[in-house]
Amino acid sequence: MGDKTVIITTLNAAWTEPNSIFDVFLKSFRVGNQTTSLLKHVLVACLDQTAYSRCLEKKQVHCYALTTKDVDFSGEAHFMSDDYLKMMWRRIDFLRHVLEMGYNFIFTDADILWFRQPFAHFYPDADFQIACDHYWFDSTNLDNSPNGGFNYVKSNERTIQFYKFWYKAREAYPGKHDQDVLNMIKHNPFIKDIGLKIRFLDTAFFGGFCEPSKDLNLVCTMHANCCIGIGNKMHDLTMALDDWEKYVTLNGDEKMLRPQTWTVPRICG
């Protein structure tokens, strides 16, 4: 974008199967409110050659081969398996490189539906802002439960140092994924020492299956968090997309006067 912001997601072959997560992710941009134009700013970092080839077929987004020597990330990486952890930490290291290149980024998991542009709900004074599994009604409260699947990060010395610290911290907490480690280091004095300004994003705008946004008139994104397994995620994401498409057919009065609710989570949750 004009301010050197890029939207980044990561994918492996299992998530790019035909009629699977990647397709639903892309469809949400097309049916969202003023989100189609964002597709040209999406960079898909593909963790294996199959995902890269399938990404190139889409011709809507930019594709980057983020392969790792002697590691095969093509299969479904089950939650907290060794391959899953390697994928998560590979992502953190890659995002640090993006910051070092001078790019701001919105990182989004591919199991997130985009319904509205999020920029109006970002905090202009924050270096690092992140969505939540559970939000405690205060964007500065470090006791919020962060979810690494969606964050907006500005490129500066503070965020570069933070991502180096976060990646290095995996050694102190072996067997933990990036989100757990973030929860452990968010109170660390190092964060205050470097002056990093952290904000947590309200689930009213950036919801998920852990804590769905209550008002479809506000929602920007919907994440299939608190949900394990591609099949389960796919089922409930498809239902959420159906909920949205029914919502957008309503006229203005119906949207405001008749409460609109999700039918999900159904299998997830």
pLDDT given for residue 79 in this prediction: 45
Q: How far apart are the first and last CA of the chain?
A: 35
Q: Is the pLDDT of residue 70 over 70?
A: no
Which range among 94-108, 123-137, 252-266 shows the weakest confidence by mean pLDDT?
Answer: 252-266
Q: Could you tell me which CATH number the domain at 5-204 has?
A: 3.90.550
Q: What is the mean pLDDT of residues 38-43?
A: 98
CB 225 within 8 A of CB 209: yes
**Average pLDDT for the chain:** 92
Residues 6 or more apart whose Cβ sits within 8 Å of residue 103: 4, 5, 6, 155
Question: pTM, whole model, 2 decimals?
Answer: 0.94
> What pLDDT, in 10s, does the model give residues 166-183?
999 999 998 888 999 999
Domain boundaries, the chain: 5-204
pLDDT given for residue 260 in this prediction: 76
Q: Is the pLDDT of residue 123 over 80?
A: yes
Q: Give the distance, in angstroms, between the CA of residue 155 and the centroid of all CA atoms in the same chain.
A: 18
Q: What is the mean pLDDT of residues 108-134?
A: 97
Q: Is the pLDDT of residue 121 over 80?
A: yes
